[in-house]
Amino acid sequence: MKILVAVKRVVDFNVKIRVKPDNSGVETFNVRMSMNPFDEIAVEEALRLKEAGAVNEVIVVSLGSAAVQETLRSGLALGADRAIYIPVETELQPLSVAKLLKAVVLQEQPQMVILGKQAIDDDNSQTGPMLAALLNWPQGTFASKVKVEGEKVHVQREIDGGLETLALKLPAVITTDLRLNQPRYASLPNIMKAKQKPLTTLTPEQLGVAITSHLHVVKVEAPAGRREGIKVATVAELVDKLKNEAKVIE
């Protein structure tokens, strides 16, 4: 069985986000970038399925500027067999990403696509469900446990009422939650081996996908700073401030 894992290059989660001086977006120049944490979990789960004998090939795919190839090499260093890079210089919305991934899926014919439930830079949680809809495949979102049995994959997910288990007929799309696993670290030998693993470049034109942006960012602003707190001596003083200053009670 072949698994396709979609990964995204984002600002590292340890970095404090800064807005560009012209308010056109988030500052990324000379900022540490890394693989989206939810996508790291997706790569780890694919590798565990391979180690369990349920999968024989893991392919990582990503799109964006040339720097994205570094993220793909990280996936190869973790244990993926090969990588596919789609060069795109424009800002993409989830639907365009899903269309490009669909084209790759139709070309590679994997039995499963795994990706993070969301990217930490936009938190849309849209690409996975959109891809499943475009492919007309069953989907298991926010997976906290994945088990392949024959022609089906069982996906356990957390819902408001507890745990829900879905039995999906392959091929299927799965998006990963934080509780699914703990990603491994790439060893130095595997980092060196990753440099020799195949990385194929496919342009949107080769995939037959026209990229169209339906959204335009007008302005990006940092959240307003939090006001300094105060201490009150009595409950009566607290109620007075909530009523007359904060206007939260009447």
- Ranges of the chain with pLDDT below 50: none
- Give the per-residue pLDDT at 29: 80
- Give the per-residue pLDDT at 72: 94
CB 200 within 8 A of CB 84: yes
- Give the per-residue pLDDT at 97: 92
Question: What pLDDT digit, counting tens, does each position of 3-60 carry?
Answer: 999 999 988 888 888 888 888 777 778 788 889 999 999 999 999 999 999 999 999 9
- Give the per-residue pLDDT at 216: 79
0.85 exceeded by the pTM? no
Q: Whole-angstrom Cα distance, residue 250 to residue 248?
A: 7
Q: Whole-angstrom Cα distance, residue 162 to residue 178?
A: 16
Q: Whole-angstrom Cα distance, residue 129 to residue 174?
A: 9
Question: Residues with Cβ < 8 Å from 36, sequence gap 6 or more?
Answer: 7, 8, 9, 10, 116, 119, 120, 121
- 2-223 belongs to CATH 3.30.450.20: no
At 73, give phi and psi (nearest 5°).
-65, -30
Q: Whole-angstrom Cα distance, residue 104 to residue 3?
A: 12
- Give the per-residue pLDDT at 90: 82
Q: Whole-angstrom Cα distance, residue 241 to residue 235?
A: 10
